[in-house]
Amino acid sequence: MFKDATPEEIDQAVMLSDKAFREYRRLSLKDRKRLMYAIAARLENSGSDIIHCAMEETNLPEARLKGERARTILQLRQYADACEQGDWLEVRIHRANHTTGAPDIRKTKVPLGPVVVFGSSNFPFAYSTAGGDTATALAAGCPVIVKGHPAHARTSRMVADLIMEAVREEGMPEHVFQHLHGTSFEVGRQLVMHPGIKAVAFTGSLAGGKQLFDWGQQRKEPIPVFSEMGSTNPVFLLPEKLQEESASIARQYAQSITQGVGQFCTNPGLILGIAGTGLRNFKETLKEEIKKTAPQKMLHAGIAKAYDTHKAAALQQQGVNVLANSDVASHIEEGVPLVATVSGEAFINNPLLRQEVFGPFSLVIECKDMAEMAQAAGNMEGQLTSTIMGTEKDLLEFSEVVEMAANFCGRLILNGVPTGVTVCRAMHHGGPYPATTDSRFTSVGADAILRFVRPIAFQNWPDHLLPDELKDANPLGIRRIEE
Amino acid sequence: MFKDATPEEIDQAVMLSDKAFREYRRLSLKDRKRLMYAIAARLENSGSDIIHCAMEETNLPEARLKGERARTILQLRQYADACEQGDWLEVRIHRANHTTGAPDIRKTKVPLGPVVVFGSSNFPFAYSTAGGDTATALAAGCPVIVKGHPAHARTSRMVADLIMEAVREEGMPEHVFQHLHGTSFEVGRQLVMHPGIKAVAFTGSLAGGKQLFDWGQQRKEPIPVFSEMGSTNPVFLLPEKLQEESASIARQYAQSITQGVGQFCTNPGLILGIAGTGLRNFKETLKEEIKKTAPQKMLHAGIAKAYDTHKAAALQQQGVNVLANSDVASHIEEGVPLVATVSGEAFINNPLLRQEVFGPFSLVIECKDMAEMAQAAGNMEGQLTSTIMGTEKDLLEFSEVVEMAANFCGRLILNGVPTGVTVCRAMHHGGPYPATTDSRFTSVGADAILRFVRPIAFQNWPDHLLPDELKDANPLGIRRIEE
């Protein structure tokens, strides 16, 4: 339906982006906020056509997509407010010391330059064209080129049109936002390798994210590539808690595993417990719940196929048994919920079982004791989240497991589910590799702006020529640290 | 004199570092501060042997080395105080909202793990074994393995012994600090590629720093590699200022170019002016000053040889002429101060002239007008610093040059010299590639701690089990952002 951007079109887009950067980076925080609010307003008034288009392209239900659009609007406004409020500039002021001769030094942040955004397939609004990456790059002062996701190319185009309308009507630099189509790897490669591009944000698979990262590092001038990739989000069911609440935990998790056909980056793919009555009861209820959960259409044929392939590969591993398979009749491209079990020992010895199966799948790992659970925890790769289900007593007794869980994840949850990511400043959505390619930055919450800026210090500069945030009178009224 | 660490010794060191990490990361900020103060105290009492050893190994004069040791002590204490004060934890607290159902989320920072430090040859104390990288890694909660610089291997060993004494006497985890020798590339490669290493800090040449960076990114699990590399620190002499003060500026710069035999990463290697009386007068005085500046021994034979080679290569370029060469007799391994000139046009057309000549060398670029100066500025690669010498009128008239200068550097200086880096929180010592491999972080000032930590969010965690900095009562009394 859409043609891939040609090498010439990509060159031209980057050139225009760089040109827009020269103007856009000079705009005040208030102006950036105005643009972001204008985009939010257009999304808010975008009516049902765009929702129907997204429904067709992603198979996601109407209510979910309406909710996701509302989240996208909330993000734009929240990050716009944070942009204006200016905490992210992390201003430090060191006044001249005439006794020691130390000069006046003041530090703020400046934008990196043109950013390429590769949206995710599972969030066609909130982590795609007008999503968190675009919003935080615009807040940072960076122009954005979105490579539209081929799995929702029309939706992406419609959102892009809204953004470009906002850009025009607010009198912003014309090419501060651009949108390109591309189904081939080559479009992505050329964008990331282009010397005019200064940062990249991506949400998707490990293979895709790692490839973009590698390209970014192999350039003559390496650039930051923020890939948010796979995660199995291990859950540790501790014994006392499980003894007390096995049925309600099982119901909670059946929901979390199958919600949105399991197509969340925080989907709980590994559940570790210690063999015993508690775990037996948990499994029993989980089985009942999964059996009655209806399969649903996945995002697209490719994802449905990959789900079946990865699920089958996991089930072929030694010691893996099916605990429950949905009993409800399924149709083509639907993801059938399935939970399997394996012993702690078999899990520890088989790295393949640590790989993500993207979809409504989870593996229950039955450890024989605390030591085995700790060993399994010690083997985990980097994760977006880790969850502990435990009583106070459990937490003290399993403190080693808790510490290990903290060590491999970006968010440590107690007595909850990993699905559902609150958009707030205290959120950290990120984690050690391979959850992301840069554990030091978040992709959710206003701190995500920090991905697209770098510090600069002004030495001995006269007050009236300093950026506003550094002026003595603090005309922007932002939080600053002075020494 | 010292043997290179064997592959087995490197393996062992990383294993012990990881073991120390498990203990060290649990220690309070107060305990980390205590260790850093203990190291500072030992350095303060280290007497003259270590100074004499460094004099022998580096050819640097006694006063300079004593001053540098004092700076190292100041850094350790300043970063230790910052460690305890806890701003760098960047705590954000989002309390549960019982109306919306949003959970309690609190974010802090945790250390990355074992860090390898490659010190610089030009700062045997302040950016080597007990230097800024080691100090900030220890503050962050990371154990450190220093690969001693072969050009001051004995000094490095002596400093390492002091640190290990402090570690023992303060009852710290035994291997929180380790020291390895290595003259071969292989030792560095094995350290950076070792899966147990989680970050690398380096100060030195572009070739060395880029190689470490590449190794770090080619690992199965890529890690942050903070290489601070070359910089030519362009200086823009604007016409009105030059007209008024050509002689004093020339004297100031003759000093800055030749200070420490030009062996500073902030040495002004490129000086751009606009042809005219001001620039002519500036060159005249600069010539007189350089002619009478005595050559001095460089850090080691390799650096002296590289200086001569790179200087000769620059002088062979078309249109490059010697302006001044020191008249004072020189001896072997001494760096002879030299300033050359070239036209703006020849400079713009010859990328080789943008390369750093490490030593007491500077190239004066005579631009024919503002447009040519702006073009030269637009061609600059990333730099640690950029300096503008200008009156208010100059700054307004040359605003395009000023903006471009800000765009390629980490510190923008007005009417001063780039040499001399104040150790304070507002300092940014870093810059776009190739000045460093990560423009988002500084290597000087307490914010350098941020290189070695990553965020983690705690969701729904009971107050008494949270890290102290996240507890409701704020027992550490640190600055926090709550929403």
Please name the amino acid found at residue B272.
L
- Which domains, from first to last, does chain B contain? 7-229+436-482 (3.40.605.10), 235-414 (3.40.309.10)
Structure tokens at B2: 């010292």
**Is B229:B204 a contact under the CB 8 Å cutoff?**
yes
SS3 A304: helix
Distance separating alpha carbons of residues B230 and B122, to the nearest angstrom: 13
The catalytic residues of B are 228, 265
Within 8 A by CB and 6+ apart from B227, the residues are: B200, B202, B203, B204, B208, B209, B210, B212, B213, B436, B437
Q: How far is CA B205 from CA A80, A365, B228, in A?
A: 41, 50, 8
**Contacting A residues, span 423-452, partner chain B, CB-CB under 8 Å:** 424-428, 430, 432-434, 437-440, 442, 447, 450
- Residue A107, phi then psi, degrees to nearest 5: -115, 135
Q: Chain B residue with minimal CA distance to A215?
A: B217
**Run of H or E including A160:** helix A153-169
**Is B82:B88 a contact under the CB 8 Å cutoff?**
yes
Q: What angle do CA A313, A315, A316 make, to 5 degrees?
A: 65
**Is B450:A438 a contact under the CB 8 Å cutoff?**
no
**Is A137:A117 a contact under the CB 8 Å cutoff?**
yes
Q: For CA atoms B289, B294, B295, B299, give the dihedral sign.
A: negative
Tell me the per-residue pLDDT of A27-48, one tens digit each, with 9 for 90 and over. Answer: 999 999 999 999 999 999 999 9
**Is A105:B422 a contact under the CB 8 Å cutoff?**
yes
DSSP for residue B379: T
- The alpha carbons of chain B give a radius of gyration, in whole angstroms, of 24
Would you call B110 and A481 a contact, using CB atoms and an 8 Å cutoff? no
Q: How would you label B272-286 residue by residue, b for 16+ Cβ within 10 Å and e otherwise?
A: bbbeeebbebbbebb
* Gap from B40 CA to chain A (nearest CA, Å): 21
B312 touches chain A (CB under 8 A): no
Tell me: pLDDT of A100 over 90. Answer: no
SS3 A414: strand
Tell me the ipTM for this assembly: 0.97
Tell me the per-residue pLDDT of A241-270, one tens digit each, with 9 for 90 and over. Answer: 999 999 999 999 999 999 999 999 999 999
**Run of H or E including A274:** strand A270-274
Distance separating alpha carbons of residues B142 and B136, to the nearest angstrom: 9
Reported confidence tier of residue A384, pLDDT bands at 50, 70, 90: very high
* Gap from A201 CA to chain B (nearest CA, Å): 16
* Gap from B464 CA to chain A (nearest CA, Å): 10
pTM score: 0.97
Please name the amino acid found at residue A132.
G
Please give the average per-residue pLDDT across A207-225, as a whole number: 97
Could you give the count of Cα atoms lying within 13 Å of A36 in the half-sphere of its Cβ? 34
DSSP for residue B18: H
pLDDT at position A108 is 98
B110 touches chain A (CB under 8 A): yes
* Gap from A300 CA to chain B (nearest CA, Å): 30
pLDDT at position A156 is 98
What is the number of helices (H) and of strands (E) in chain A? 15, 18
Alpha carbon dihedral B435, B440, B444, B446, in 10-degree steps, equals 180
Distance separating alpha carbons of residues B387 and B257, to the nearest angstrom: 13
Q: Which residue has the higher pLDDT, A100 or A219?
A: A219
Tell me: pLDDT of A4 over 80. Answer: yes
B316 touches chain A (CB under 8 A): no
Distance separating alpha carbons of residues B258 and B236, to the nearest angstrom: 18
Beta bridge pairs of residue A237 = A389
Tell me: pLDDT of A111 over 80. Answer: yes
pLDDT at position A98 is 87
B415 touches chain A (CB under 8 A): yes
pLDDT at position B98 is 86
Please give the average per-residue pLDDT across A345-367, as a whole number: 97
DSSP for residue A446: G
Would you call A411 and B93 a contact, using CB atoms and an 8 Å cutoff? no
pLDDT at position B445 is 97
Report the DSSP pairing between strands B199-203 and B177-180.
unpaired
A453 touches chain B (CB under 8 A): yes
Q: How would you label A120-137 residue by residue, b for 16+ Cβ within 10 Å and e otherwise?
A: bbbbbbbbbbbbbbbbbb
Q: How far is CA A143 from CA A19, A41, B236, B441, in A?
A: 9, 20, 29, 22
B462 touches chain A (CB under 8 A): yes
A27 touches chain B (CB under 8 A): no
pLDDT at position A101 is 84
| Chain A residues closer than 8 Å to B102 by CB | 422, 424
Would you call B102 and A217 a contact, using CB atoms and an 8 Å cutoff? no
Please give the average per-residue pLDDT across A334-342, as a whole number: 97
Distance separating alpha carbons of residues A373 and A350, to the nearest angstrom: 15
**Contacting A residues, span 228-287, partner chain B, CB-CB under 8 Å:** none
Which residue of B438, B442, B459 is in closest CB contact with A411? B459
Q: Roughly what angle, to the nearest 10 degrees, separates helices B7-24 and B185-193? A: 40
Q: Chain B residue with minimal CA distance to A416?
A: B460
- Residue A354, phi then psi, degrees to nearest 5: -85, -5
* Helix %, strand %, coil % of chain B (to 5): 45, 20, 35
Tell me: pLDDT of A344 over 90. Answer: yes
* Range list of H helices, B292-382: 301-315, 344-348, 370-378
Tell me: pLDDT of A5 over 80. Answer: yes
Distance separating alpha carbons of residues A137 and A110, to the nearest angstrom: 12
**Is B162:B128 a contact under the CB 8 Å cutoff?**
no
* Range list of H helices, B219-276: 239-258
pLDDT at position A66 is 98
Chain A to chain B Cβ contacts (< 8 Å): 172
Structure tokens at A405: 């869980």
Cis preceding-peptide flag for A434 (omega within 30 of 0) = yes
SS (H, E, C) B151-217: HHHHHHHHHHHHHHHHHHHCCCCHHHEEEECCCCHHHHHHHHHCCCCCEEEEECCHHHHHHHHHHHH
**Is A290:A324 a contact under the CB 8 Å cutoff?**
yes
Question: Which of A21, A97, A383, A439 to mutate to probe the B interface, most B CBs <10 Å?
Answer: A439
Q: Which residues of chain B have pLDDT under 50?
A: none
